[in-house]
Amino acid sequence: MGRAYCIFSAQYLPHMGGVERYTYNLAKKLIELGNTVTVVTSNLQQLAEYENMDGISVYRLPCFDLLDGRYPVLKCCPRFKAIHQDLKNKKFDFVIVNTRFYIHSVYGQWFAKSQNIPVITIDHGSSHLSVGNPVFDIIGGVYEHVITKVGQLFCKDYYGVSNACVDWLKHFHIKAKGVLYNSVDIESIEKVLGQNEKKYRAAYGIDEDAVVITFTGRLLPEKGIPQLINAFEQLQKTYRNTYLFLAGDGGLEDFVRLHENKHLIPLGRKSFEEVMILLSETDIFCLPSFSEGFSTAILEAIVCKCYVVTTERGGARETFPTDDYGMVIQNNNARILKDALVKAINNRVKREEAVKLSYDRLKNNFTWDIVSEKVNELP
């Protein structure tokens, strides 16, 4: 007899992001193990309050949309109360809260405690959140400490999606119970690649000898987008047969468009399938973030056989324990980033060897089959 799981995730599909995909993939695998899964999220895009998505029951709570969808705040209204009552009637066996710094998260933690249901919180961060404004970042840091302390009143068991997240939880005086790694579904990615033809190089007139660098994800300051563009424009002065694709949307879309040219190509938001096809035509995947928990984008790039250049944030060193697996740089200073990309461009043989090693490491450690079994065995 399987369990009835309820996962509280402030953001969820079709809104795209690492936490959203973590919730979706974990839910799918828990269902494959014979469980039922309900996801409780925020109604950011004015969608149906309830629907069944791929066997997952999804409830969307009314909310205020702050920071361009980055911080939904629950709206206490008659519709919220009606959904809350529906959730109480479902009789869950286990509650999972994804991330700890949303009001939505505290609601999930409180809901579990009030219904006497076992609950865990999975953290996805390795530093304080940033909105690119020093004053607001300080205020945000204070707020994060306060809301984390409130959440601890209702939930005692915390996990991280990487060891870096586990270490970051110590900053809040939380001793994590362990790691539930962010992961990927290798089979689903390879199925997409097997069913679709490559097209991006042909569409943009890029020959096979050219080096394609790609970033996928939200176009936000903390992802290091300005530094990546600066570094690419510098290396382009010497390495003309290189191209940079940026696939994603976010607050820096206009900034990115200002730098668009034949070699620097913004694609906007793309579907999961489109992103996988793009990655399969990519030589170097670059994620120069200020802050990460354990990047889904990096894991997807590895499955698509990309060489990875990234910053020493989140689970980077867990994915690439040595330079034989990929390149982890100290920070995303534009000069450091440019030098790293140049080094990768100039060493094709090492890139090919690293791709094989990182793929094997992922297959043995970072798959949803492994993580879902671990979750399903929690008491």
pLDDT in tens, 174-185: 999 999 999 999
The confidence score (pLDDT) of residue 10 equals 95
Instruction: Quickly tell me which residue has 């599909």 as its tokens.
Output: 13
d(CA 264, CA 212): 10
Structure tokens at 141: 């840091």
Proportion of the chain above pLDDT 70, given as a percent: 98
Instruction: Quickly tell me which residue has 């999975």 as its tokens.
Output: 122
Q: Residue 374 burial (CB < 10 Å; 0-12/13-18/19+)?
A: middle
Residue 362: name the closest of 309, 278, 295 by CA: 295
Half-sphere exposure of 188 (CA within 13 A, CB side): 14
CATH of 4-180, one of 3.40.50.2000, 3.40.50.460, 1.10.3720.10, 3.40.50.300: 3.40.50.2000
Q: Is-contact 9 44, C-beta < 8 A?
A: no
Mean pLDDT of the chain: 94
Q: Residue 325 burial (CB < 10 Å; 0-12/13-18/19+)?
A: buried
- 288: helix, coil or strand? coil
d(CA 359, CA 319): 10
Tens of pLDDT, residue by residue over 277-335, are 999 999 999 999 987 778 889 999 999 999 999 998 878 999 999 999 999 999 999 99
Q: Is the peptide bond before 118 cis (omega within 30 degrees of 0)?
A: no
145 sits in which H/E element: helix 134-152
At residue 302, what is the residue type?
I
Instruction: Quickly tell me which residue has 């920070």 as its tokens.
Output: 331
189 Cβ neighbours under 8 A, 6+ residues apart = 276, 300, 303, 304
Instruction: Give Cα separations from 193 to 25, 131, 355, 362 (angstroms).
Output: 18, 35, 17, 18
The confidence score (pLDDT) of residue 45 equals 82
Residue limits of CATH 3.40.50.2000 in the chain: 4-180, 186-365
The dihedral through the CA atoms of 68, 159, 29, 280 has a sign that is positive
The confidence score (pLDDT) of residue 96 equals 98
Helix residue ranges per DSSP H, the chain:
18-32, 78-88, 103-114, 134-152, 163-169, 186-195, 200-203, 225-235, 253-258, 272-280, 296-303, 316-319, 334-345, 348-365, 368-376
Cβ neighbours of 53 (radius 10 Å): 14
The confidence score (pLDDT) of residue 66 equals 80
Residue 120: name the closest of 71, 160, 81 by CA: 160
CATH architecture classification, 186-365: 3-Layer(aba) Sandwich (3.40)
pLDDT per residue of the chain (379 residues) written in tens, 0 to 9: 799 999 999 999 988 778 998 999 999 999 999 999 999 999 988 899 999 999 999 999 999 988 666 789 999 999 999 999 999 999 999 999 999 989 999 999 999 999 999 999 999 988 887 766 788 788 888 999 999 999 999 999 999 999 989 999 999 999 999 999 999 999 999 999 999 999 999 999 999 999 999 999 999 898 999 999 999 999 999 999 999 999 999 889 999 999 999 999 999 999 999 999 999 999 999 999 987 778 889 999 999 999 999 998 878 999 999 999 999 999 999 999 999 999 999 999 999 999 999 999 999 999 999 999 999 999 9
